[in-house]
Amino acid sequence: MSTVTLIFLFLTVELFFSPVQGEVHYYDFVVTERNFTRLCETKSMLVVNDAFPGPEIRVHKGDLVYVNVQNKADYSLTLH
Ligand SMILES: *[C@@H]1O[C@H](CO)[C@@H](O)[C@H](O)[C@H]1NC(C)=O
C-alpha cells in the first residue's frame, strides 16, 4: 500500500486572508480500488468511501474544511 504523496486542496483565497467566521467541516475520504465489470470487460477504478462519483463537499464562503484522506490504492494520487 502506498501513501498519499500529494494532496492539493484548492480553497478560496479569501479563506487564507480573513479570519474564520463560518462553520468548520470535517470529511474522511478512504480511497480504494474497485473492479467494475461492464460488457464482459473488468476495469479497476478508484472510489472514495466505496462510491463513484465520490462524496460532495458542501461549504459556504468563510467555512473551514478539513479533509482527511486515506489512500488504500496501490499507487499515489492527487486530489483536486
Ligand atoms: C481486480 O481484479 C484483478 C484481476 O482479477 C485482481 O488482481 C484485483 O485484486 C482485483 N481488485 C479488487 C479491488 O478486487
Query: What digits encode the pLDDT tens for the residues 19-71?
Result: 557 999 999 999 999 999 989 999 999 999 999 888 999 999 999 999 999 99
Q: Is 33 in the pocket of ligand 1 (CB under 6 A)?
A: yes
Looking up residue 56, the CATH number of its domain turns out to be: 2.60.40.420
Counting the structural domains of the chain, the total is: 1
Find out whether 22 and 68 touch, Cβ atoms under 8 Å. Answer: no
Q: Give the cell for residue 68.
A: 482527511
CA distance 64 to 60: 9
Please indicate, yes or no, if residue 26 is contained in any of the structural domains. yes
In the predicted model, is pLDDT for residue 72 greater than 70? yes
Please indicate, yes or no, if residue 9 is contained in any of the structural domains. no
Please indicate, yes or no, if residue 13 is contained in any of the structural domains. no
Please indicate, yes or no, if residue 63 is contained in any of the structural domains. yes
CA distance 73 to 32: 5
Q: Which domain holds residue 32?
A: 21-80
Please indicate, yes or no, if residue 28 is contained in any of the structural domains. yes
Please indicate, yes or no, if residue 1 is contained in any of the structural domains. no
Q: Tell me, what's the pLDDT at 76?
A: 92
Please indicate, yes or no, if residue 62 is contained in any of the structural domains. yes
- Classify residue 60 by its DSSP letter: -
One-letter identity of residue 20: V
Best residue among 33, 35, 71 to mutate for probing ligand 1, ranked by most atoms within 8 Å of CB: 35
Q: Cα–chain-centroid distance for residue 5? A: 13
